[in-house]
Amino acid sequence: MITLPDTASPLYEKVKDYILANIGTGRWGKDRKLPSENELVASLGVSRMTVHRALRELTSAGFLIRLQGVGTFIAPPRPQSTLIEINNIAAEIIERGNRHRSEVLVLETIMPTKELALSFEFPKRVSIYHSVVVNFENDLPVQLEERFVNPSLIPDYDKQDFSKTATYDYLMQKTPVTEVEHIISAVPADAETARHLGIDVGACCLFLHRRTWTGAVVATISKLTYAGSRYSLGSRYSPSKNS
Amino acid sequence: MITLPDTASPLYEKVKDYILANIGTGRWGKDRKLPSENELVASLGVSRMTVHRALRELTSAGFLIRLQGVGTFIAPPRPQSTLIEINNIAAEIIERGNRHRSEVLVLETIMPTKELALSFEFPKRVSIYHSVVVNFENDLPVQLEERFVNPSLIPDYDKQDFSKTATYDYLMQKTPVTEVEHIISAVPADAETARHLGIDVGACCLFLHRRTWTGAVVATISKLTYAGSRYSLGSRYSPSKNS
DNA sequence: CATACATACATGTATATACTTTTGCCCGAG
DNA sequence: CTCGGGCAAAAGTATATACATGTATGTATG
């Protein structure tokens, strides 16, 4: 029987500390398999629910991997990927000390195309909101922003004045985002895009496709086109900001 | 009594979805206070532990704020930014079930231009490693990869065979990255890029500029050019994966 | 009137118990 | 030797219960 430290912290935290202290010391074999919940119950003298909570939280924090029916394992060192941050364009422009202005080209209710309804994961055809806005930095158009919005989550989208409130701000305020999908690509400007952004047809544009979810429901689909010569996505990131 | 959806997902997930769906609709008053655990138990017909777990996870995901003795409240909107993930291209290609191959065009030691030395934050001119590699997905060139590497951190870079080990893997293995800077833009292909990627001059390319630091020292500078028509950066991200 | 106490109610922690789902493996039938 | 059934083990979920701890509030008492 192992005795956990006699501090003020809750029991499941002590169990977490105990497990963390034993990760990396090689104490748990070269297959990096932890004792089972029931073994920990026996060796630590706490209930299985408490052990389970400790293990679940360490798993969600990325330290462990658990397989039902198999066991609990130490997670491999962090996956080789880096993150970049995508900011709200209005805020970004203002932060650079420049003036931001929006021009609303379209704000309407439409029936989605079959393809769009599919992207929304709609079982049947329901009408959705559709907006097209051009964002200016010091009177120079930098971003063409087309959005499709799920009206069941954001009811009054079509009644807003998006030349005053940025669409992004309104959406973020109205509904919590639980998941985001991004696809970034480079595309040549089509005729309409070129006209709105004041660039040549065929000029390189950065194209950002974004879907956001609230729970299991697709909340918004956005297609953001940036004039390639006038804009780039940038970020600086420290991986060491995790627990 | 509210009836939760009859799906296969666990009960606490349904409770989380139910709560998320009610956040932002203004359903829970202008003080943004949620019903107490016991009220949710009564209205949803589940046990308090299940409600508690749902609320605890939403709290740790940043959606809620809980005060013992007071109640549960909707958290103020999170900082408005989202993250996208940039993966190792070799790993990405293999994960898609395709074949990855590299062709090393250049691997040499050079004296940096003044501009480059500035990017490295070098006080004086020191020689650096320089590599140019084309990455193929099933014999189709998708990425032109130019790297400048700080020899004081990665000594034997010029002696590796990068048709066998991906440059990325080698660098990640050799030195820990403490900070990353990314700039993504869309550019037309110049003559040389077009030739190496097998695309037309002027075709849209995704251009990724990356600097990595190890401590206070710039370790690598990379210029990655993706054939726009053949590649897009994608990612799906759940903000709720924090502790 | 002000302070102290009692009370109610909120979330936090801990346990015991039961059942479900997934997986790995042994063992026997063919 | 192979296939498949069945069993055991592991994590996952759900509940009932109890007690701990923190907060707000009303009330009795000095």
**Interface contact A186-B236, CB threshold 8 A:** no
Q: For residue B47, which nucleotide's C1' is closest to its Cα?
A: D15
For B175-230, the pLDDT digits (tens) are 777 777 888 889 999 999 999 999 999 899 989 888 888 877 888 999 999 987 66
Q: Domains of chain A: which residue ranges?
A: 11-74, 89-229
Q: Is the pLDDT of residue A243 over 80?
A: no
pLDDT at position A241 is 38
Cβ–Cβ below 8 Å for B17 and A188 = no
What are the tokens at B135? 């990455």
More confident of the two residues A210 and B85: A210
Closest approach of chain B CAs to the CA of A117, in angstroms? Answer: 20
The pLDDT value recorded for residue B84 is: 62
Name the pairing type of β-strands B71-74 and A179-188: unpaired
Nucleic strand C interface residues, CB < 7 Å: A 10-13, 46-50, 67-70; B 34, 36-39, 49, 52, 55-56, 59, 66-72
What are the tens digits of pLDDT across the range A41-94? 999 999 999 999 999 999 998 889 999 999 999 987 655 556 566 667 787 788
Answer whether B233's CB lies under 8 Å from A210's CB: no
Q: Which of A71-80, A174-183, B14-23, B77-86 has the lowest mean pLDDT?
A: B77-86
* pLDDT per residue as tens digits for the range B82-124: 656 666 778 778 877 888 889 999 899 999 888 888 888 877 7
Q: What is the mean pLDDT of residues B36-63?
A: 95
Q: B243 and A243: CB-CB below 8 Å?
A: yes
Task: Quickly state the pLDDT bin for B62 (edges 50, 70, 90).
Answer: confident
Cα angle, residue B184 at apex, residues A193 and A103 outer, rounded to 5° = 35
Q: What is the pLDDT, as a whole number, of residue B241?
A: 44
Searching chain B, which residue's CA lies closest to the CA of residue A187?
B204
Burial of B160 (0-12, 13-18, 19+ CB in 10 A): middle
Q: Judge contact between A73 and B68, C-beta under 8 A.
A: no
Question: What token pair was written down for B225?
Answer: 């050019």
At residue A237, the pLDDT reads 62
**Nearest nucleotide (C1') to alpha carbon of A68:** D11
Q: How confident is the prediction for chain B on average, in pLDDT?
A: 84
Domain A89-229 has CATH 1.10.10.10: no
Question: Please, what CATH class does the domain formed by B11-74 belong to?
Answer: mainly alpha
Q: What confidence score (pLDDT) does residue A62 get?
A: 84
Mean pLDDT for B158-162 is 83
Q: Which tokens sit at A152?
A: 């069941």
- For chain C, which bases have at least one atom within 7 A of a protein Cβ? 8-18, 21-24
Supply the pLDDT for residue A7.
Answer: 83
Architecture of domain B89-227: 3-Layer(aba) Sandwich (3.40)
Beta bridge partners of A26: none
Q: Which nt has its C1' nearest the CA of B13?
A: D13
For the beta sheet containing B204-214, the strands, ordered from the edge strand earlier in sequence to the opposite edge, are A233-237, B179-188, B204-214, B217-227, B140-149, B128-137, B100-110
The shortest C-alpha distance from B59 to chain A (Å) reads 13
Residues of A in contact with B23 (CB under 8 A): 175-176
